[in-house]
Structure 1
Amino acid sequence: MNPVAMNPVPMNPVPMNTVPTKTLSTLDREHAVELIQQAYADGRLGTAELELRIEQALTATTSQELEPAVADLPQVEKAEETVRLESVGGSVTRKGDWLVPRRLRVESEYGRVRLDLSQAHIPHARVDIELWLAYGAATIILPAGATADADGVRTDWGRVSCKAPGRPRPGAPHVRVTGELPYGRLTIRNARA
């Protein structure tokens, strides 16, 4: 009998306390970037640290790689509630000192929508506005320095005009507008000085 066959060399065992790694989705990375941007906006991070952590978050492929970028930051629930504003023929207006939610859905059949964020309290680095406007017009006024994009808005016979800068800037709110305006009009601009 061959003694090697009776006493095989042990294979490298897998440690029992190994934690499985989770592959990240785009939403996981986006949520991490939001936490980092919010920490910067709150004054918890400097510009260099902001850039480093965002790079870590965007290049992470597993939850273990992402963890160092957000471990010491206050966590915010991913599933924040969407605030809904609805009107059939009237107008939807928000202005002055109001609290802007993280996610806002505005539905209007024939009315007018005016969201003035120039003096509002915006506690989030990014705000998502979902706009469903069949007819009528919508105006979104941003604070000075804020950015916006309306790339997610679909229109048939309507018009979309975004006069605000489109690329997000560190420390400034970014508003992302999506939705449908079959015959409606949308104007996004910064507040006049």
Structure 2
Amino acid sequence: MNGAGREPEGPPLLVSDEDRDMAVRRLGEAYAEGRISYEEMDELLHRVLTARTHQDLGPALASLPEEHAGTPVELHPGTGGARITVPRDATVETDELRTVWKQPRHRTRRHPRPGGPRIRISGTMEYGRLRIRHARR
């Protein structure tokens, strides 16, 4: 312990490729939604890509709104299909869904609205298909 009664701090944590990719994705989303200008994105992108530690990365993302983790949906139906209806302005992510037989059927919206809910679908579907549709109203 040091004189202030706290544990001594270790070396700063280095930024991983995954952390950097997440930061680049957040910047891209903020730009696509019109929350930052091209010039801001360019400057912040440079800061993110050259950051070595989390202390360097934090200030580059501080001006962005908090990222919401989204609504998780976990599926394990075994056999048979599943149908999910999501809100009209929702963004659906199926990257964490593992399928054995057929890929999920989902058409992304051509012009997604900013600020809609984010739904993350994960799990395993063995024999069947997941159909995702956006509500009409």
1:27-50 CA-partner distances (Å, limit 9, x unpaired): 58638977xx8xx8xxxxx7117x
Say which of 10, 13, 20 aligns to 2:11: 20
Q: Structure 1 length as normaliser, TM-score?
A: 0.44
Consecutive unaligned residues of structure 1, counting only runs of 5 or more, are 1-17, 41-45, 77-123
Asked whether the equivalents of residues 70 and 118 of structure 2 are also in contact (C-alpha less than 8 Å), the reply is yes
TM-score between both structures, scaled by the size of structure 2: 0.57
Residue identity (%): 35
Structure with more helix by fraction: 2
Query: How many aligned residue pairs are there?
Result: 119
Larger RCO (CA under 8 A, 6+ residues apart): 2
Matching of residues 17-96 of structure 1 within 5 Å: 20-25=11-16, 26-27=18-19, 30=22, 47-48=35-36, 52=41, 55=45, 58-59=48-49, 60-71=51-62
Question: Which residues of 2 match residues 69-148 of structure 1 at below 5 A?
Answer: 69-71=60-62, 124=68, 126-148=70-92
Distance 1:57 1:172 in 2: 28
In 1: Cα distance, 2:65 partner to 2:36 partner: 19
8 Å CA contact retained: 2:23, 2:61: no
AA in 2 matched with 1:63 = H
Shift of 1:138: 2.1
Counterpart in 2 of 1:9? none
Separation in 2, partners of 1:131, 1:30: 25
User: One-letter code of the match for 2:54?
Assistant: S
- How far residue 172 of structure 1 moved from its aligned partner, in angstroms, is 2.7
